[in-house]
Amino acid sequence: MKKFVSLTLAALMAFSLAACSGSESAATSSQSVAPTEAPAANEAPAAAEAPSASEAAGADSEPAEGTEAAASETTDGGNILVAYFSWSGNTETMANMIAEDAGGTLFEIEPATPYTDDYDTLLDVAQQEQADNARPGLAATVENWDSYDVVFVGYPDWWSDAPMLIYSFLESYDWAGKTLVPFCTSGGSGFGRSLDKLPDSAPGATILEGLHVSGSSVDGAADQVAEWVAGLNL
Ligand SMILES: Cc1cc2nc3c(=O)[nH]c(=O)nc-3n(C[C@H](O)[C@H](O)[C@H](O)COP(=O)(O)O)c2cc1C
């Protein structure tokens, strides 16, 4: 009997380890979590994570929709754009790492009407946007889009998909001849359904293997990000 219990426990442990090991890896396929369920506690942003300054800013401080905004920072890779949306800062941290490793220009994708700062309200807003297949307005557009050959696009997983704002962004540009490199942070779902949807919203783009990092691990992910960027051979 004892032996049976030990064997059962060993099997359970092996299963848990296998289940955990895939949470921070380069994405080769989409993962899916039922969109009708609220993100589990371990998938939610930590309570201590405050919304980014840009999210906290009022609508009046945002450029009007359709206006062109210069990207916020330029480094060596003149043909590389690192575009990202981040509500509570994790994806922004990853975007900064990528910009440092790959060079290029950072561009924050922001909604014309800022999202609420309240997490619980945001869960409902995000779920409704997804149910409506909405395309929320963008605060600004990328200047000199034609000058970029490679565009990293980063976002948090929202309800096992990209925020609808990402599809607004993708569908605002001509992707013919561009290389799109997705990256994502989440509580554990990874890219969710978003990888399967990117080609329709960015027709003509060559889509490279993306990287997902767990939001709670992003601060320590610099080496992982650097290795991934180097492997892209841009
Ligand atoms: C509206 C909303 C929905 C979310 N849905 C999921 C989900 O389905 N699966 C998951 O693993 N994490 C989910 N999360 C957690 C975020 O993906 C995670 O905290 C991410 O790192 C946040 O990135 P950010 O700080 O750049 O906004 C959700 C968070 C929010 C705010």
pLDDT tens readout for residues 154-185: 999 999 999 999 999 999 999 999 999 999 99
* Domains of the chain, first to last: 26-232 (3.40.50.360)
**Nearest Cα residue to atom 17 of ligand 1:** 186
CA of 167 to the centre of ligand 1 (A): 17
Q: Which of 125, 129, 170 lies closest to 151 in space, CA to CA?
A: 170
pLDDT digits (tens, 9 = 90+) for 58-71: 222 333 333 444 45
Q: What are the distances in angstroms from CA 25 to CA 21, 138, 180, 193?
A: 8, 30, 18, 16
Instruction: Tell whether the model's pLDDT for residue 88 goes beyond 70.
Output: yes
Residue 8 is which amino acid? Answer: T
Residues lining ligand 1, Cβ inside 6 A: 33, 39, 43-45, 86-92, 122-123, 126, 156-160, 185-189, 215
pLDDT tens readout for residues 95-118: 999 999 999 899 999 999 999 999
Expressed in angstroms and rounded, the spacing between residue 146 Cα and the centre of ligand 1 is 31
Q: Which residue has the tokens 């009407």?
A: 113
Separation CA 121–CA 31 (nearest Å): 25
- With the most atoms of ligand 1 within 8 angstroms of its CB, the residue from 94, 119, 157, 194 to mutate is 157
